[in-house]
Amino acid sequence: MRKKIIAGNWKMNKSFEDGLKLAAEVVHTADAEVPADVHLVMCTPAIHLAAVAKLTASSRSVATGAQNIYQKDSGAFTGEISADMVASIGVKYVILGHSERREYFAETNAQLADKVNLALKHGLTPIFCCGETLAQREAGIHFTFVKQQITESLFHLSPEQYATIVIAYEPIWAIGTGVTASSSQAQEIHLEIRKHLASKYGDVGQDTSILYGGSAKPSNAKELFACPDVDGGLIGGASLVARDFIDIAKSY
């Protein structure tokens, strides 16, 4: 059965103190208000991970996620953080392949395949991001492009390895622009992604949670989540306001 997941990506925001305050408010409110079948994940900057993981350890609703890991297990890679380090403090999820990482840090599908392997090796659940630019959508190659991202980074996995993967579809043209894909656009490409996953992994692919990652907010979440192939959201700006994040989760 597909999990309903609302993952918040804090990006490079919140001081340590402000981050802990936000996390505590989310945990307290979520456990009281969010339905038991909806899973929340707070993906924080690295400085918050250990403290937030302690906060979420006893929560019935909320888990902690990292925003990235390096593609090697250890070594002389100054400034990087490994899957083993992240897992060792109780973090459960990790975002991989976010469009900002692909654009600003030139992450490739091959590098992301290595990161996926290490995440799984250390018991982390990857939230694997894919998505197209406005130019690619207007050129009519968005389905092909997104399928290639998935194929080159995930299709080397066995069905058993693949089973825990979460997909986050990001229409890059709708991130931070205030533009949101219509519910019909979201459903169309989520269904296309699901068919592609099922072509490789059968029922395991059908059971994949696919999140929408393009400027979801309390005002549009209910309509997006009503789509049969949208299983939640990867939330950016709205995840920095506890009330907004909770209200999005309650939209299910």
Positions annotated as catalytic residues are 98, 170
Q: How far apart are CA 16 and CA 34, in angstroms?
A: 25
User: How far apart (Å, rounded) are the C-alpha atoms in residues 170 and 146?
Assistant: 10
For the chain, list the strands marked E by DSSP.
4-9, 38-44, 62-66, 93-96, 125-130, 166-169, 210-212, 232-235
What angle in degrees, to the nearest 10, is found between the helix axes of 242-249 and 16-33?
A: 30
